[in-house]
Structure 1
């Protein structure tokens, strides 16, 4: 995979003869950066945003349940649930529909922005790497392209995810935030920028999940089209997109889920950890290996349909916007 070089700083030479203009390395770096930016297609941003927003509106209650299970360490005075259905029924009885959609605003912002930016960066990096190559990108190139896209996206969206987690973990008997902007402002006032970037390190590890998912998804699409003797970018049927999205997501989640538990606990306002090592140590000591997989069942129940909806909407909307329908 081609790397994305950054402009290098040139040391000015002595005396008035030194040239004030950029050196050859800096010029080359700027040229490469402009080339990368030339591959950006805002249709991918719009299509990814559409998929993220639609899937979030449909499935937010399951996301809320997943997070509440993930932080359930047994040591806090917080509601206890016997299972997914019991959790949903309890929240419904205590808080109604509003309770099930607590934190939905930052979730929509976060999911829309994350999927939109992810598809924008991923396709731009992938196109940049493909430029000048006669053969298609391999699995490693897809993996690295997706990882780079994930890191760029996380840098921009982590504050939204912290805010969403805090709102989701507000229980009916003790609420401290009135909404998304109030939560974000209070987090910044009391914890600074560091508070808005809680869970960033495990979030970086989480980019490996998306990278694995995209690598598997691309491989499944390529193999399917090769088997049918079609171009690699040929439009597939809705069911093919759904199956491929589901299979790729299952593989990625099974491999990387523990980071989500760690991240949620770092962002939980009801508990205090000194850092990543403290979360790992206390979770292992108090709950064993099982503690790192809490909430995985509701997570799978949520992410599989969410992933299928997102990818199906993305593939069709992007092709519609780019005029690639047959």
Structure 2
């Protein structure tokens, strides 16, 4: 929706890499603010043993308990880091759109080299190309922003009395565990996320082209009817 607004209603308008980054950042910011309480609950549930009397159980139970004991600020612990994490989605989508644009341009040059006329539907890439571009862009985003997730999880899991701040967590983690601690679980996280990301983008791109093809066919039918009338 944000991307369409930037295009000004013109589907032929090519948004720049900077515009892709801005659109992704806006969408990711809204998502981060809306979902932060859920991430806080998830962190608390996984961090407390089930046999612990103080263990968190269930989404609604945890939300109300945190709100009663820590207030609204408790539900938004780590929200600053969540906003920093907006860069994850921004980097991913901006990288994806740029990689996709380059693949289309390369395909266009190949067609020109053999004298083949370019058609609008030729802009569609293969599923393999969508998998590679979406997977590659997601991995780049994960690798660049993963440390913030480690810091955010430690802040969200800490009791308010500990008074943890972002600089304090970063300093303590680095001094006690070294640089590798900021990338703990990166490989596992990538393996867990990448298949879903690739599948989502492949399905999305194919649906977009399916709807676009249907819209063109409908437009042609209406044009024929008007001509016959």
Fold match (TM-score > 0.5) = yes
- TM-score tier, shorter chain, comes to 0.7 to 0.9
CA deviations on 1:173-205 (whole Å, 9 max, x unpaired) are 326222111111111111111111111111111
Structure 1 residue 233 displacement after superposition = 9.3
Structure ranking higher in helix proportion: 2
Aligned partner of 2:27 among 149, 153, 158: 149
Picking from 178, 189, 212, the partner of 1:324 is: 212
Matched, 1:246 2:145: no
TM-score by length of 2: 0.78
What does 1:62-81 align with in structure 2 at a 5 Å threshold?
none
Determine the C-alpha separation between the residues in 1 that align with 2:2 and 2:64. 34
The answer for the alignment partner of 1:69 in structure 2 is none
Alpha-carbon distance, 1:269 to partner = 4.7
Gaps spanning 5+ residues in structure 1: where?
1-123
Question: 1:224-239 maps to which residues of 2 (within 5 A)?
Answer: 224-229=103-108, 231=120, 234-239=123-128
Q: Kindly report the root-mean-square deviation, in angstroms, between the aligned alpha carbons of the 2 structures.
A: 2.4
Aligned to 1:311: 201
Report if the CA contact (8 A) 1:166-1:268 is conserved.
yes
Q: Supply the distance in 2 between the matched residues of 1:162 and 1:277 (Cα, whole angstroms).
A: 20
Q: Residue 184 of structure 1 aligns with which residue?
A: 63
> Aligned pair in 2 of structure 1 residues 127, 169: CA closer, same or farther (>3 Å)?
same
Which structure has more RCO (C-alpha within 8 Å, separation ≥ 6)?
1
Alpha-carbon contact 2:158-2:164 (below 8 Å) kept: no
Q: Which residue of 2 aligns with 1:170?
A: 48
- 1:288-317 Cα shifts (integer Å, max 9, x gaps): 212211121211111211221232233345
Distance of 1:233 and 1:248 partners within structure 2? 23
One of 111, 125, 130 as aligned partner of 2:7: 130
> Could you say if the C-alpha distance between residues 277 and 233 of structure 1 is closer, same or farther in structure 2, counting changes exceeding 3 Å?
farther
Instruction: Tell me the SS of whatever aligns to 1:254.
Output: helix
Corresponding residue for residue 300 of structure 1: 190
Distance (whole Å) between structure 1 residues aligned to residue 185 and residue 202 of structure 2: 25
How many equivalent residue pairs? 201
The TM-score normalised by the length of structure 1 is 0.56
